[in-house]
Structure 1
Amino acid sequence: MKAHPKEQLRLLELAQVDARHARLQHLAKNMPEQIHLVEIEQDRRTRRAAAAEALGVLEDARSELATIQSDSKLVAERRARDEKRLSSASSTKDIAALQAELDTIARRQETLDDQELAQLEQVETLTEAHDEKVAAMREIEAQAADLLERRDLARENLRKEAKELATDRKTLVDSLSAELVALYEERRKRAGVGAAELVGKVSTASQETIETADLARITKAPADEVLFCPDTGAILVRTERSAS
């Protein structure tokens, strides 16, 4: 195939655009922020579960404290009623019965006071434990939120760059013959690189030095002849940096 040397040079520009696009695709699939998010996801779930479990235990303790305080209030009300009855009682039997009941209520109140104090200490301890779990959860959630924000920003930048590359690629393709573009696409599909530069005696498609016999054939070929890398099959474009 024949193609003007300037067209062949534009193939190198096209190859650069395609290489940049391939790098963008690789970055999109291997974004550091996304990888980090995946790495911390298990820790996020563990910390959320720990915070939820700590809250459940704390709520149970608070419920138990509320029950004790409710019982204590009822006992205090019963004590107030009995003391009022005792102050107006005249019968020795009634006085003795009320006093005995007040003694029982006093012991019950003492027990409830001890239980309330112990439960208050338990609630305080569990509150501190819950606060620690929530703080740990919020710490990693803040880290995840930052990673998400940076990932989304990076993705948006990649999308913008990909859009610009698509525009550049269309401009280049439109400036080339359909036959040459078809050949380029066929070689790119086969070799992974559609076109490469001959730098000195090295093909940038294979990064290998071209053998003497092949190099002699390449250097003697007309400037408008489309040549191929002996190792990869990519279109080999000669430039001012090529061996002559």
Structure 2
Amino acid sequence: MKAAPEAQRRLLDLQAVDIALAQLAHRRKSLPELAEIEAVSREISALEDERVRAQVAVDDLDRDIARFEKDIEQVRARKDRDQKRLAAGGALREIEGLQHELATLNRRQSELEDSELELMEQRETAEQALNDVKGRLAAAEERRSAAEARRDEAYAEIGKEAEFKQSSRGPLVADLPADLIALYDKIRADSGLGAALVRSGRCGGCRIELYGADLNRVKSAPADDVVRCEECRRIMVRTAESGL
């Protein structure tokens, strides 16, 4: 392939733009905020599981307390009925039976109230645990939101830089021969670097020094020949720095 030496030299300008765009793309993918967001998201997921378990514990205790409340209310209602019957008087046997039942109901009420009190203490502890995990969850969500905001700010900055670089790429491509650009793009797609400056007899792509027949091949090639490295197959751009 043939291309004017100036066109070949301008490939280096194009390559510099493409390197900058690749660096911006890498920067976008490797922002520290991305790892932070992923780590905090895992933490939030674990905390959400913990919150659900803590909420279930509170709900279960609420249900048990409500059941005790119902049982205590039933005992109280039965006591009220017995006390009214006792106040109304009656046969001695009936009065004794009511007194015995009231004593039993009092013991039952005391037992239920003690059990309810124990459950209420357990609920207080469970609610504290629930509030604690809710607090940690809220803090983690705030950290994630802050990291997402920093990520979005970085994305916007990278996007502006990439847009600026991309806008400078168009005119470069338009001024270069289409077949030269096609070859450059193909090589760049395969290896990430389409063209490299030969400096001091060394390929700028693979950094291997030219010698022997390969050095003679490059030296003797006409200035408008598009020369490629035998090792990395990149276009070797020759300038006054090449030492040939």
TM-score range (shorter-chain normalised) is 0.7 to 0.9
| 1:182 partnered with 2:182 | yes
Check 1:231–1:63 CA distance in 2 against 1; reply closer, same or farther (3 A cut). same
Q: Partner residue of 2:8?
A: 8
Whichever residue aligns with residue 169 of structure 1, its letter is R
Q: Could you tell me how far 1:191 is from its partner in structure 2?
A: 4.5
Q: TM-score, normalised by structure 1?
A: 0.82
Q: Deviations over 1:9-54 (max 9, x none)?
A: 2211111222223333434444443344445555443332222112
Structure 1 stretch displaced more, 110-119 or 21-30: 21-30
Structure 2 gap segments, 5+ residues each:
none
The runs of 5 or more residues in structure 1 that have no matched partner are: none
> Over aligned residues, Cα RMSD in angstroms?
2.9
Partner of residue 98, structure 1: 98
Which residue matches 1:115? Answer: 115
CA 1:94–1:168 in structure 2 vs 1: closer, same or farther (change >3 Å)? Answer: same
Q: 1:205 to 1:126 in 2, by over 3 A?
A: same
- 8 Å CA contact retained: 2:227, 2:235: yes
8 Å contact 2:48–2:137 — kept in the other structure? Answer: yes
Task: Name whichever of 112-121 and 18-27 sits farther off.
Answer: 18-27
Counterparts of residues 1-244 of structure 1 (less than 5 Å): 1-39=1-39, 41-89=41-89, 91-211=91-211, 213-215=213-215, 217-219=217-219, 221-244=221-244
Contact 1:195 1:236 in 2 (8 A): yes
The one-letter code of the counterpart of 2:61 is: A
TM-score between both structures, scaled by the size of structure 2: 0.82
Residues 40 and 143 of structure 2 are in contact (CA less than 8 Å); yes or no, is this contact kept in structure 1? Answer: no
Which residue type is aligned with residue 4 of structure 2? H
Secondary structure of the 1:241 match is helix
The percent identity for this pair of structures is 34
User: Tell me, what secondary structure is at the counterpart of 1:197?
Assistant: strand
* 1:236 match: secondary structure: strand
One-letter identity of the residue aligned with 1:181: I
Q: CA–CA distance in 2 between the matches of 1:119 and 1:240? A: 88
- Measured in 2, the distance between the counterparts of 1:65 and 1:186 equals 74
Q: Decide whether aligned partners of structure 1 residues 223 and 110 sit closer, same or farther in structure 2, where only a CA change above 3 A counts.
A: same
Instruction: Give the SS at the match of 2:183.
Output: helix
* CA 1:130–1:215: 2 relative to 1, 3 Å: same
Give the SS at the match of 1:209. coil
Aligned residues: 244
